[in-house]
Chain A
Amino acid sequence: MSTLVLTLIIGLGLGALYFLVASGLSLIYGLMGVLNFAHGAFLSLSAFVGWAVAQAIGADSWGGFLLSILVGAVVGAVFAALTELALIRPLYERHIEQVLVTVGLSFAAVALFDGIWGTDPITVRGPVWLSRTTAVLGASIPNKYWVLIIAAVVVLAGLVVFLRRTRYGMIIRAGVENRGMVTALGIDVRRSFTLVFAIGGAAAGIGGVLAMHAMTYVSAGLGGTLLIFAFIVTVVGGLGSLTGAAIASVLVAVLQQVANTYLGGTGDFIVVILLAVVLLVRPAGLMGKAA
């Protein structure tokens, strides 16, 4: 029983992490049609800088931890916004080239990070509480997963409020449905593009800092591994759907953990099977627009 509880809650925690990374990807693709390969780079850079900040303040302190999350969000947002302005915007409506340019950026960024910080993973510490566990129904849950879940819920809530209550949120929701018509109403959609990239970058940044703590290391490749799962989550959930990304994140992560625990470490493989099944049955994804 306690194994099951542990598996499920870790699944939730991982799902929270996937959501933080996938939410930005889903919005960016939904609004702009761009598959952002550089998303992983946003994540890694935010983690590195966040770690540097936390170390400066005091790696064990809560102040350092919280500040590193904030800094991670800002770094992610800025990196993302600059990417959009410099690389994506000039290639307006050329979707394949836009994807390629993000591929090139991820290539170059990871190499650069390797050069600056070295290829060996750097061990990371946070407030002591994170490495302890809390007992729930007989299972000992590592506390870092609670932080992940809380962060994801906060980000999800924030995104929903933004999308439903602000004009820019309305523009983005409309643009995800029909970009052309938004311009035909006299609105410059491109400004929303930068905004969406920035938001995605911020969420990825938060995800990056928390992922670093969850895995207790940071390296240039941190973003890459998470990115694949974020892609899977985005496709399963339905491209462009925030709710879809949320549901799919939990589904994928819990399934992965259950398979790892009870089916001998086949979690990664099962996730791909899930992807194949979803595609065969409902190609648009769980919440995507039906073809």
Chain B
Amino acid sequence: MTMRTGSPVRTWTPLILGVVLVVVLAILPLLNLSIPGILPGPTYTPGSLALMSLCMVFAALALSYNLMLGTAGMLSFGHALYFGAGAYGLGIVLQAAQLPLVPGVFAALLGGIVIAVVTGAVAMRVNGIPFAMVTLAFAQAGSVLVRRNQAVTGGEEGLSLNTAGVPDWMVGVINTRNLYWVSLAVVVLVYLIVLWVDRSRLGHLAAAARENDLRVRVLGLHPARARLMVFVIAGLCASLAGIAYLLLQSGTQPSAVGADLTITVLVMVVLGGVGFRWGAILGGVLYTILDQRLTVLARADAIHQLPDILRVPLSEPLFILGVLFILVVMFLPGGIAGTVDSSLRRRRGGSASPGSGGVDEGAAGVAA
């Protein structure tokens, strides 16, 4: 972490910008803004609010993943497990134990932490690519568990939210606005947690270990413990996002647990720029919008008129995203945030920061 030498303007500007942004986002539901093409309707409509809330939930998830990959250099393919643990955890607790919301949330978060500690401890027996594969296996196990235990989790159909324990102001389409504010609170909370970790000794230790594990150990420090802590905190944030997801969608389904979702989050973070918090947010928002809106776009007439060889690939949003992802990884390894950061630094005349060199530099300690 570089010390900010420089004017107070530089130190305070990000903070002020952040606060302004949050305030603007908070009042959006009260405004009649339209962003055609991106939002299905003006900002006060439930449809748009639901989309924006989903963006924020995934931004929070992306932030938590960036904490692991960007700060600590751990490539996990099983992060969705903790997201699902939050969502399913709360859903099951509300349904089975008939608990009211707040204790239910704590129970779900606790469950998420326990799962993160156990899986993290086992997975960290190995590093790099093997670590990634183990986390993948765990997420798949979770996915299988969820799919098979119909009685508890609703199986393939998914689990719907038992609204009995949920306060009235969170239920129903008319209250989408309130859920929007809940999602906003969640993403702000996750951002603050991630920021706090990055700036703390824990974060510095994890980042140093990412660059050079041996050097850190020689100093008598314990990078493994730090990494596990970061892993668990990231899992906790993911569970938090999962809880918001359950409330927002009034239910959850098995796809919230498996490898596919983790890979989706990975795509978000890489697109946004690994190692940059605002990159993760941008990636989460961008991906969600693309995913939701490209399906609409694909049905557009313009696409239908194209010859088959163009129409078929372009009708599949995931194809476009996959190709986009490949292009970003190959030609813009810093992602959006990394590329912007490099060009800003070049203009300021400084050297490139460690995070902008691409995923590999940022995760230098990961490659076996």
Chain A window 260-291, contacts with chain B (Cβ cutoff 8 Å), 1 for yes, 0 for no: 00000100110110011001100100000000
**B315 contact from A115, A275, A276, Cβ within 8 A:** A115
Q: Verify if A132 is at the interface (C-beta below 8 Å from B).
A: no
B residues touching A (Cβ–Cβ < 8 Å)?
Answer: 75, 122-123, 125-126, 128-130, 132-134, 136-138, 140-141, 144-145, 148, 259, 263, 266-267, 270, 312-313, 315-319, 321-323, 325-326, 329-330, 333, 358-360, 363, 366-368
Which residue of A is nearest B363, CB measured?
A96
CB interface residues, A 109-139, toward B, < 8 Å: 109-112, 114-116
How far is B137's CA from A268's CA once the two chains are assembled, in angstroms?
A: 10
What chain A residues lie within 8 Å of B363 (beta carbons)?
A: 96
Is the CB–CB distance between A283 and B137 below 8 Å? no
CA distance A209 to B204 in the complex (A): 50
A228 touches B136 (CB 8 A): yes
Q: Does A35 sit at the interface, judged by CB under 8 A?
A: yes
A94 at interface (Cβ–Cβ under 8 A)?
A: yes
Taken together as a complex, chains A and B put the C-alpha atoms of A99 and B367 apart, in Å, by: 11
Provided the pairs A94-B358, A235-B130 are in contact, do residues A115 and B326 lie with their beta carbons within 8 angstroms?
no
Distance in Å: Cβ of A22 to nearest Cβ of chain B: 11
A112 proximity list for chain B (CB < 8 A)? 312-313, 316, 319
Q: Which of A96, A108, A228, A269 contacts B322 (CB 8 A)?
A: A108
Starting from the known contacts A87-B330, A101-B329, A103-B266, 12 additional A-B residue pairs (CB-CB under 8 Å) come to: A29-B129, A95-B368, A97-B329, A104-B322, A107-B321, A107-B322, A108-B322, A111-B317, A275-B134, A279-B125, A280-B122, A283-B125
1/0 contact trace for A1-32 toward B, CB 8 Å? 00000000000000000000000000001000
A143 to B311, CA, bound (A): 41
Contact between chains at A116 and B312 (CB < 8 Å): yes
Question: Bound complex: CA of A114 vs CA of B319, how far in Å?
Answer: 10
Are B322 and A231 interface neighbours, CB within 8 A? Answer: no
A232 CB → nearest B CB, Å: 5
Q: Identify the closest chain B residue to A91 (Cβ).
A: B330
Indicate if A234 sits at the interface (CB-CB under 8 A): yes
Q: List, sorted by A's number, 29 A–B pairs whose CB atoms are closer than 8 Å.
A: A33-B368, A95-B129, A97-B329, A97-B358, A100-B325, A101-B326, A103-B263, A103-B266, A103-B267, A104-B322, A104-B326, A106-B322, A107-B321, A108-B319, A112-B319, A228-B137, A228-B140, A231-B136, A232-B133, A234-B133, A235-B126, A235-B134, A235-B137, A239-B129, A268-B140, A276-B122, A279-B123, A279-B134, A283-B126
Q: How far is the CA of A114 from the CA of B366 in the complex (A)?
A: 34
- Chain B residues in 8 Å Cβ range of A111: 313, 316-319, 322
Per-position contact with B for A65-86: 1 when CB-CB < 8 Å, else 0?
Answer: 0000000000000000000000
Asked if residues B325 and A104 are in contact (CB atoms below 8 Å), the reply is yes
Centre residue among A96, A99, A232, A275 by max chain B CB count within 10 A: A96
Q: Is A107's CB under 8 angstroms from B318's CB?
A: yes
A100 near B322: Cβ-Cβ < 8 Å: no
In the complex, which residues of chain A have a beta carbon less than 8 angstroms from the beta carbon of B132? 35, 99
Complex: how many Å from CA A283 to CA B22? 45
Provide the bound-state CA to CA distance between A280 and B137, in Å: 15
User: A105 at interface (Cβ–Cβ under 8 A)?
Assistant: yes
Contacts of A272 in B (CB 8 A): 137-138, 140-141
- Bound-state Cα–Cα, A100 to B137, Å: 18
Residue in contact with B122 in the complex, picked from A106, A108, A269, A279, CB distance below 8 Å = A279
Q: Which residue of B lies closest to A95 (CB)?
A: B367
Q: Give the chain A neighbours of B141 by CB distance below 8 A.
A: 268-269, 272
Could you say which of A100, A235, A276 contacts B266, with CB atoms under 8 Å apart? A100
| Closest Cβ neighbor of A109 among chain B residues | B322
A94 CB to nearest B CB, Å = 4
Classify the secondary structure of B's interface with A.
helix
Q: Which of A96, A105, A106 contacts B366 (CB 8 A)?
A: A96
Asked if A158 lies at the interface with its beta carbon under 8 angstroms from chain B, I say: no
Q: How many A residues, CB 8 Å from partner? A: 42
Q: Is A90 positioned at the interface, with any CB of B under 8 Å from its CB? A: yes
Q: How far, in whole Å, are A90 and B259 apart by their CA atoms in the complex?
A: 27
CB nearest neighbor in B for A231? B133
Shortest distance from the beta carbon of A85 to any chain B beta carbon, whole Å: 13
Contacts of B325 in A (CB 8 A): 100, 103-104, 107-108
**Shortest CB distance A283–B (Å):** 5
Taking CB atoms, residues of chain A closer than 8 Å to B144 are 268-269
Contacts of A35 in B (CB 8 A): 129, 132-133
Chain B's nearest CB lies how many Å from the CB of A7?
A: 19
Rounded to whole Å, the gap between the CB of B219 and the closest CB of chain A is: 22
Q: Which residue of chain A is the closest to B141 with respect to CB atoms?
A: A272
What are the residues of chain B within 8 A of A231 when measuring CB–CB? 133, 136-137
In the bound complex, residues from chain A placing their C-beta under 8 Å from that of B75 are 96, 99
Q: Which 4 A-B pairs have the closest CB atoms?
A: A108-B322, A107-B322, A111-B318, A111-B319
Please indicate the chain B residues that have their CB under 8 angstroms from the CB of A114 in the complex. 316
Give the nearest-CB partner of B75 in chain A. Answer: A96
Closest to B148 in A: A265
The reply to whether B319 and A115 form a contact with Cβ atoms under 8 Å apart is: yes
Interface residues of A in 147-191 (CB under 8 A from B): none
Q: Once bound together, how far apart are the Cα atoms of A162 and B292, in whole Å?
A: 49
Most buried by A among B133, B259, B313, B359: B133
**Which residue of chain A has its CB nearest to the CB of B119?**
A276
Q: Which residues of B contact A271 (CB under 8 A)?
A: 137
Smallest CB gap from B321: residue in A: A107
**Complex Cα gap A173–B145 (Å):** 39
Judge whether B130 and A107 touch: CB under 8 Å.
no
Contacts of B140 in A (CB 8 A): 228, 268, 272
Residue of B nearest to A238 (CB): B130
Residues on A with beta carbons closer than 8 Å to the beta carbon of B148? 265
With A99-B75, A108-B319, A228-B136 as contacts: A115 and B312 at CB distance below 8 Å: yes
